[in-house]
Amino acid sequence: MRRFVAAVVVLVLGIAVLVSTRGGDEPPEALAIVEAAFAATGARDSTGVGLLVRIEDLPPELGALGIAGEGRAAFDGEGASLTLEVTEAMAELTGAEPGRVELVDDGENAFVRQGDGPWRPIAPDGRTGGTGVDLIAGTDPLAGFSFMAAAVVEATEEATDLVRGRQTTRYEVRLDPARLDGDHRPAASIAAALEGFVPVFGLVWVDEDGFVVRARYDADLARLSGGGPLGVGGRFVSEFELFDLDTPVRPGLPAPAEVEGSPLDATELELVLGGIGL
């Protein structure tokens, strides 16, 4: 009997030591996880990227205001290709043309075309983005990723989700645009446009390998004077997904014979892209 009791005591003490040891390994804080995920993802060469930029919470008669697209981009800004769709409602509101828009950028030269029309060159100021409502900026589809990576200051774990079939953890984050400066262009263009919306809130989805696979941030347009650009408020949402890391980017610049017209500046490019800008 004494041996049995002694064995039980040893077992209980062993379990207590094991639990105590494991309990000492505190899990990383949510902010550290999110920051590490942005760093790990941004350290890769390139990524597939899906974009959805829209204005939500509007009267239904205004229709779907937004653009959606998918393509590939290099994290160092030296290459991107993207195909977008501008909705009919967005085009009617801004004066842009609805339908397909294609962008290619090899890091030195960039071109855009609408539908089956000719390719137009993009001027350097169009590639880097301006200010104003240009919330993605330039022709860099990863500008939103760069903005969030530099601006995140708080994070809270929320839930688990599936993103493109991958198990992820979703975090709510707070973003501080003041953390960016001119060295972060075109992400700084996003920060400048969002200064009136501080604090900026967003969501980040991190997969089991520690990479960012989806992120979004939004701004309440009702906080602007006059109810925002539409006069009825609404919420501007920018969301992107990252997938197929390190698949090479092949921009496929058009042949000279396919290019027509003078280079588009930032204002002209914003109109082509449905009045939102990239």
State mean pLDDT over 239-264: 91
Report the share of the chain in percent with pLDDT over 90: 35
CA angle (162, 166, 167) in 5-degree steps? 60
CA atoms lying within 13 Å on the CB side of residue 30:
17
Q: Which of 213, 220, 245 is nearest to 235 (CA)?
A: 220
Segment (H or E) for 272: helix 266-272
pLDDT tens column, 106-151:
888 889 999 999 999 988 766 654 433 333 445 678 888 988 999 9
Tokens standing for residue 137: 């900026």
pTM of the model: 0.80
Residue 12: pLDDT above 90? Answer: no
Alpha carbon distance 178, 198 (integer Å)? 9
Domain membership flag for residue 217:
yes
Among 58-72, 77-91, 153-167, 205-219, the range scoring the smallest mean pLDDT is 58-72
The CATH number of the domain holding residue 130 is: 2.50.20.20
Domain membership flag for residue 5:
no
CA angle (149, 153, 155) in 5-degree steps? 90
Report the pLDDT value the prediction gives residue 2, as an integer from 0 to 100. 35
43 or 189, which is more confident? 43
Domain membership flag for residue 20:
no
pLDDT tens column, 69-112:
899 999 887 888 889 888 887 777 777 788 898 989 888 888 99
Q: Which of 264, 254, 132, 261 is nearest to 192 (CA)?
A: 132
Which amino acid is located at 198 in the chain?
V
Domain membership flag for residue 1:
no
Alpha carbon distance 226, 179 (integer Å)? 28
Mean pLDDT for all residues in the chain: 78
* Ramachandran angles phi, psi of 156, nearest 5°: -135, 130
32 or 266, which is more confident? 32
Domain membership flag for residue 8:
no
Alpha carbon distance 248, 265 (integer Å)? 28
Domain membership flag for residue 46:
yes
Which amino acid is located at 218 in the chain?
D
Report the pLDDT value the prediction gives residue 260, as an integer from 0 to 100. 94
Domain membership flag for residue 266:
yes
Q: Which of 269, 161, 172 is nearest to 217 (CA)?
A: 172
**Cα 239 to Cα 135, 213, 251, distances in angstroms:** 11, 11, 23
Tokens standing for residue 35: 């920051």
Give the strands of the sheet with 46-56, arranged side by side. Answer: 120-121, 110-114, 99-105, 80-86, 65-74, 46-56, 235-243, 212-220, 200-207, 166-175, 152-163
Domain membership flag for residue 155:
yes
Number of domains comprising the chain: 1
pLDDT tens column, 46-73:
999 998 888 877 777 776 677 888 999 9
Domain span holding position 36: 28-272
